[in-house]
Amino acid sequence: MDKFQVNLVEDEKNLAEVIKAYMEKEGWEVSIFTDGKEAHDAISQPTHLWVLDIMLPGMDGYQLLKAIKAEHDTPVIFISARDKDLDRVLGLELGSDDYLAKPFMPEELVIRAKKLLNRVYQAEQQEEDKIELNGYTIDVNSRTVLDGNDQVELTTKEMDLIILLTSNVGNALSREDIIEYVWGSDYFGSERAVDDVVRRVRKKLPRVHVETLYGYGYRVLSS
């Protein structure tokens, strides 16, 4: 799926237009709503992602989130000037998938949105569940990696990591993102475990260019 529909609910019109411009560069279609009730009327319309401010006229973001989640499991990102821990926790408890505090760079919101969309709609994006990259074939269903006709032996964690990275070519993935996918949200060990698995994958799949993003995480480049 290449064309995503995003509903952006933000009453700061200038900010909304800037965000829309950045998202449209990704090829996404963006609808702007400046009023919570107006956005509520659009809940029944097909969309792939909601981006919600919390403080809105007509209906606040929390109420709107509840209404969205009552009808659909569409992913939601909160954006708000309210950066208190309680607001973050409440948003996540109500079902939001991410929370970004204002002020923020529009590029960061796009990166987060892209990762969220790729994760949620990954199965639809990869109809054949096979990823071709630099002479390797990663079969998501059978969980195998072929180098030409030869199978590359990978551990479970290495396989999980290579599927995640190659499913998001060009996208920056934080260590937290990787831990959640590979180890699960209940993992409480060291983030160094990520670096160790990346090191092993690099050794076994040398033509997969895994770039280190210092202080953040990793991404795979297309060549």
- Using alpha carbons only, what angle is made at residue 100 by residues 70 and 15, rounded to the nearest 5 degrees? 95
Q: Which three-class secondary structure string do you get for 16-62?
A: HHHHHHHHHCCCCEEEEECCHHHHHCCCCCCCCEEEEECCCCCCCHH
Beta bridge partner(s), residue 199 = none
User: Comparing C-alpha atoms, which of 15, 80, 17, 67 is closest to residue 38?
Assistant: 67
Report CA torsion sign: 175, 177, 182, 183.
positive
CATH number of 127-220: 1.10.10.10
53-111 pLDDT, tens digit per residue, is 988 888 888 889 889 888 888 889 988 876 555 555 655 666 678 888 888 889 989 98
pLDDT of residue 146: 95
User: Comparing C-alpha atoms, which of 141, 122, 130, 131 is closest to residue 75?
Assistant: 122
In sequence order, the 6+-apart residues with CB closer than 8 A to the CB of 11 are: 34, 35, 53, 55, 56, 57
Band of pLDDT at residue 158, cut at 50, 70 and 90? very high
More confident residue, 170 or 184: 170
Mean pLDDT of the chain: 85
Going by DSSP bridges, is the β-strand pair 217-220/210-213 parallel, antiparallel, or unpaired? antiparallel
For the chain, give the percent of residues with pLDDT over 90: 42
Least confident of 11-15, 122-126, 193-197: 122-126
Band of pLDDT at residue 10, cut at 50, 70 and 90? very high
Domain range 5-123, its CATH number among 3.40.50.2300, 3.90.1150.10, 3.90.245.10, 3.30.950.10: 3.40.50.2300
Band of pLDDT at residue 208, cut at 50, 70 and 90? very high
Band of pLDDT at residue 17, cut at 50, 70 and 90? very high
pTM, 2 dp:
0.55
More confident residue, 168 or 90: 168
pLDDT of residue 1: 45
pLDDT of residue 156: 87
pLDDT of residue 222: 82
Question: Domain spans of the chain?
Answer: 5-123, 127-220
Longest CA–CA separation in the chain, Å:
60
User: Comparing C-alpha atoms, which of 35, 48, 204, 221 is closest to residue 125?
Assistant: 48
